[in-house]
């Protein structure tokens, strides 16, 4: 563990520390090395500073164009290079996508995400994609897309159509990236994210764990995300789904505690971002999912599929939410954060009682800081 001590410049001056964009490797490594209970305590404390701890943002993902992707991502069943038995499908009709969005909204989703297996969208397809965005927005849903790499012009067109979020994952650390993908570079991904940000859209970017990477690669991934000029508003943390026919079909399972640690560290160093419990949930039991929520995950996908891999059914998620006392985050809370409010301190009115979620308990922070000296650096 690092011997880094909290400096006066990093010590919080108020109950809600400012965001940082200068995380060092030894600091983040020390977070990963904390005793498990200490790490989860810190993550939950930070989580309560910025979010209602009993609300989870709910999205639905729709594959608008499936398979035949020219990229060689070793984890992906949609790559044309691997025989996974996946049947390729053309771009969906706009009306069909709108119907899927209506069903998603009726199931409780507040955001509708659309994914296409492209290296980057072709000019002939972009007008249809733009109409999809407009149609979904008209339903009162937030919109998100993942279409591969974008240039500045494409980013501007999607932003003008009203696209709220664009997803483009970094997948792993820069050092390990070449072992996963060779058909596009890490800088290609960073350039797309910059084009998205410059166009005024929100960034959704995270990675996949369990691809044979080491802990330092998970450290590197999170540092890359947290040290961006602006943190991604949404950070999906995916557990590898091993698909027969892909190069990663026989990889060993990632230890569940290592996955939870990744969620917790993401929460601590990107405190205002939604951390999404994403692919791989089908393989997680309810206890592991509950632990992920406690570690700071506060976004999921409803529905049976994540593009082409299984996902828990919406009804199962609703049952789990009920057992845990979790509610879907209302769209109003999303709007509150967009306008600069603090949704974490939102009152929860139920049966006439008003519960205020306090940002933190000062005494608890001080006690934890004494037990784990890195704490002040971790949350400031």
Three-state secondary structure along 335-378?
Answer: HHHHCCCCHHHCCEEECCEEECCCCCCHHHHHHHHHHCCCHHHH
Q: Two tokens at 238?
A: 């995916």
Predicted local confidence at residue 271, as pLDDT: 97
Q: Does residue 318 lie within any of the structural domains?
A: yes
Active site residue 76: yes
In the chain, which ranges are E strands?
55-65, 111-116, 142-146, 165-167, 202-204, 207-209, 234-239, 274-277, 299-302, 305-306, 309-310, 327-328, 348-350, 353-355
Query: Which domain covers residue 63, as residue numbers?
Result: 53-338
Residue 372 resides in a domain: no
**Structural domain includes residue 173:** yes
Q: How far apart are alpha carbons 53 and 233 in whole angstroms?
A: 17
The residue count for the chain? 380
Q: Which of 144, 189, 267, 337 is catalytic?
A: 144
CATH of residue 60: 3.20.20.70
Q: How many Å apart are CA 22 and CA 157, to the nearest integer?
A: 32
- Contact present, 181 and 171 (Cβ < 8 Å): yes
Question: 20, 184, 276, 337: which one is catalytic?
Answer: 276
Q: Which residues pair with 280 in a beta bridge?
A: none
Q: Which position among 20, 62, 113, 267 bears the catalytic label?
A: 113
What's residue 376's pLDDT?
A: 33
Whether 28 is covered by a domain: the verdict is no
**Dist. CA 254–CA 302, nearest whole Å:** 23
Residue 11 has phi, psi (to 5 degrees) of -70, 135
**Beta strands per DSSP E along 87-213:** 111-116, 142-146, 165-167, 202-204, 207-209
Place of tokens 């929520």: 293
| Residue 6 located in a structural domain | no
Q: What is the pLDDT of residue 334?
A: 52
Catalytic residue, candidates 62, 69, 261, 337: 69
Of 20, 48, 62, 73, the catalytic one is 73
In a domain? residue 368: no
Beta-carbon contacts of 332 under 8 Å, excluding residues fewer than 6 positions away, are none
Structural tokens at position 144: 């998100």
Residue ranges for the chain with pLDDT beneath 50 = 1-14, 305-311, 337-380
Is position 343 within any domain?
A: no
CB 231 within 8 A of CB 273: yes
From the list 20, 48, 62, 76, the catalytic residue is: 76
| Structure confidence by residue, pLDDT tens digits, 333-361 | 555 544 444 443 333 323 333 233 333 33
Residue 84: in which H helix or E strand, if any?
Answer: none
The rounded distance, in Å, linking the Cα atoms of 306 and 312 is 10
At residue 338, the pLDDT reads: 46
Domains contained in the chain, number: 1
What pLDDT shows up at residue 367?
A: 38
Q: Is residue 62 annotated as a catalytic residue, yes or no? A: no
- pTM for the model: 0.81
Model pLDDT, residue 303: 59
In the prediction, which pLDDT does 335 show?
53
Nearest in space to 48 (alpha carbons), one of 332, 374, 342: 342
Domain assignment present for residue 10? The answer is no
Given 204, 267, 281, 337, the catalytic residue:
204
């Amino acid at each position: 563990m690092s011997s880094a001590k909290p400096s006066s410049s990093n010590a919080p001056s108020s109950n809600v520390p400012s965001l940082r964009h200068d995380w060092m490797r030894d600091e983040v490594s020390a977070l990963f090395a904390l005793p498990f209970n200490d790490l989860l305590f810190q993550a939950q404390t930070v989580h309560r500073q910025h979010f209602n701890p009993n609300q989870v943002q709910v999205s639905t993902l729709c594959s608008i164009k499936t398979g035949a992707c020219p990229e060689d991502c070793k984890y992906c069943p949609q790559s044309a290079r691997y025989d996974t038995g996946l049947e390729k499908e053309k771009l969906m009709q706009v009306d069909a996508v709108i119907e899927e969005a209506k069903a998603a909204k009726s199931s409780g989703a507040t955001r509708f995400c659309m994914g296409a297996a492209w290296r980057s969208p072709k000019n002939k397809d972009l007008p249809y994609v733009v109409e999809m965005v407009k149609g979904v927005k008209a339903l009162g849903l937030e919109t998100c897309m993942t279409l591969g790499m974008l240039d500045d012009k494409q980013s501007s067109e999607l932003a003008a159509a009203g696209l709220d979020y664009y997803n483009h994952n970094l997948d792993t650390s820069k050092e390990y990236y070449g072992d996963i993908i060779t058909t596009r570079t890490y800088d290609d991904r960073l350039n797309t994210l910059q084009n998205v940000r410059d166009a005024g859209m929100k960034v959704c970017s995270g990675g996949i764990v369990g691809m044979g990477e080491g802990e330092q690669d998970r450290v590197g991934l999170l540092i890359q995300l947290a040290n961006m000029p602006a943190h991604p508003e949404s950070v999906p943390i995916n557990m590898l789904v091993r698909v027969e026919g892909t190069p990663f079909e026989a990889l060993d399972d990632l230890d569940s505690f290592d996955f939870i640690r990744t969620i917790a560290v993401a929460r601590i160093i990107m405190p205002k971002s939604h951390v999404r419990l994403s692919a791989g949930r089908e393989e997680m039991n309810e206890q592991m999912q509950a632990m992920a929520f406690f570690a700071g995950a506060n976004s999921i996908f409803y529905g049976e599929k994540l593009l082409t891999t299984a996902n828990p059914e919406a009804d199962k998620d609703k049952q789990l939410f009920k057992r845990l006392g979790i509610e879907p985050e209302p769209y109003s809370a999303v709007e509150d954060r967009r306008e600069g409010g603090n949704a974490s301190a939102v009152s929860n009115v139920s049966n006439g009682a008003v519960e205020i979620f306090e940002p933190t308990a000062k005494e608890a922070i001080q006690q934890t800081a004494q037990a784990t000296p890195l704490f002040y650096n971790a949350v400031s």
